Amino acid sequence: MTAQREWFEKDYYAVLGINKDSPAKEITKTYRKLARKYHPDTNPNNASAEEKFKDISAAYDVLGDESRRREYDEVRRAGPSAFSGHGGAGSQHFDAGGQDISDLIGQMFGGRGSRSRGAAGPQRGNDVEASITLEFVDAVRGVTTSLHLTSEVQCQTCSGSGAKPGTSAKRCTQCAGRGVVEEDQGPFAFSSACPRCSGRGSTIENPCRSCKGIGTEVRAREVNVRIPAGVDNGQRIRLKGRGAPGRNNGLSGDLFVICNVVAHHLFGREGKNLTLRLPISFTEAVLGANIEVPTLDGEPVTLKLKPATQSGSRHRVKGRGLQTAAESGDLIVTVEVVVPKDLTKQERAAIEELARVSTESVRSHIH
Ligand SMILES: [Zn+2]
Ligand SMILES: [Zn+2]
């Protein structure tokens, strides 16, 4: 029962570096700060950071929960010395009620790994968040890719049972495996989650050494994800059941993937439409032109510009935007008239002649 004894032998306040009377808000704030600092994602291949991260998480598991924190404080106040003396008078004292020390601790904390004492039955796993960087084309078309992340996974050593390999969880003696106990209170009978097994119906006598009985461990893993067509920069995709494993046969949490989409050198996005800025010459704008325009799927299309096409005008190429099961977008082409810079002698003469014969006033409306 060494693993369980660690629970109260460890000074969780010291682990987080806070005072015993720190308010809950401060505990959470400190935990978040430390968790960010020591998260395996920020410290790849750093065993000591990973160990520290586990310690911080374990400490917050208890101190972050008001009722568990109170119980932890009580146990520590009762005197850890009474618990740490093996076989001495202290332990005799605790055997008096027919329960050994580990039973007492198990009751105090509802067994290792349960997130809240008295929460009967299965517990859903945590949600996990990860980010991915996508090429523009992949975001538009959808892609299957692999994602590397570090998160809680089922413990490899015990396959998530929390019991040392070769041993298994034992049926709880207090509730006979039912997970609930009845209490007679006058005319009423209440049933509540069994305090010994926190409603699991079983207890672990020999906790797994790798995960200390929790059934999960923090490990780097690779996840294959299908990114649907049409995701936008900053969009969060939910992958159901791909988060951290549940406890006590609970469902797994979800994996949220935040998509960072790399900008394309030509195309942009406006919802389901793709956008493109198309430079045209002064003469093309004046006289009109048929201009070959690139599309994202590689096959160019011809855009017909009428005479007197204005700079900044938008032209729609149907069906060349995002194509998803739900919608079909267009390609929106914005033309930009480019003013020529390096004129040849001949061009200059022609334009000077144009200026001389020009009669249209472009600013008539502002006079
Ligand atoms: Zn394990
Ligand atoms: Zn029980």
Please report, for the chain, the start and end positions of each structural domain, with discontinuous segments joined by +.
Answer: 1-109, 267-358
pTM of the predicted model as reported, rounded to 2 decimal places: 0.55
Superfamily classification of domain 1-109: DnaJ domain (1.10.287.110)
Residues less than 5 Å from ion ligand 2, measured at CB:
172, 174-175, 194, 196-197
Neighbours of 221 (CB within 10 A): 13
| Ligand whose nearest atom lies closest to the CA of 112 | 1
Centroid of ligand 1 to alpha carbon of 224 (angstroms): 24
Q: Which two tokens stand for residue 69?
A: 């924190």
H-only helix segments in the chain: 2-9, 12-16, 24-38, 47-63, 66-77, 80-84, 89-95, 101-109, 136-141, 282-287, 345-357
Centroid of ligand 2 to alpha carbon of 124 (angstroms): 20
**pLDDT value of position 348:** 95
| Ligand whose nearest atom lies closest to the CA of 212 | 1
Report the number of secondary-structure helices (H) and strands (E) in the chain: 11, 15
CATH assignment of 267-358, among 3.40.50.1820, 2.60.260.20, 2.70.150.10, 3.40.50.1100 = 2.60.260.20
pLDDT in tens, 202-261: 888 899 999 888 888 898 888 888 898 999 999 999 998 999 988 777 889 999 999 999
Q: Does the structure show a pLDDT above 90 at 262? A: yes
Binning the chain into helix, strand and coil, the percentages to the nearest 5 are: 30, 25, 45
pLDDT in tens, 166-190: 988 888 888 888 888 877 666 666 7
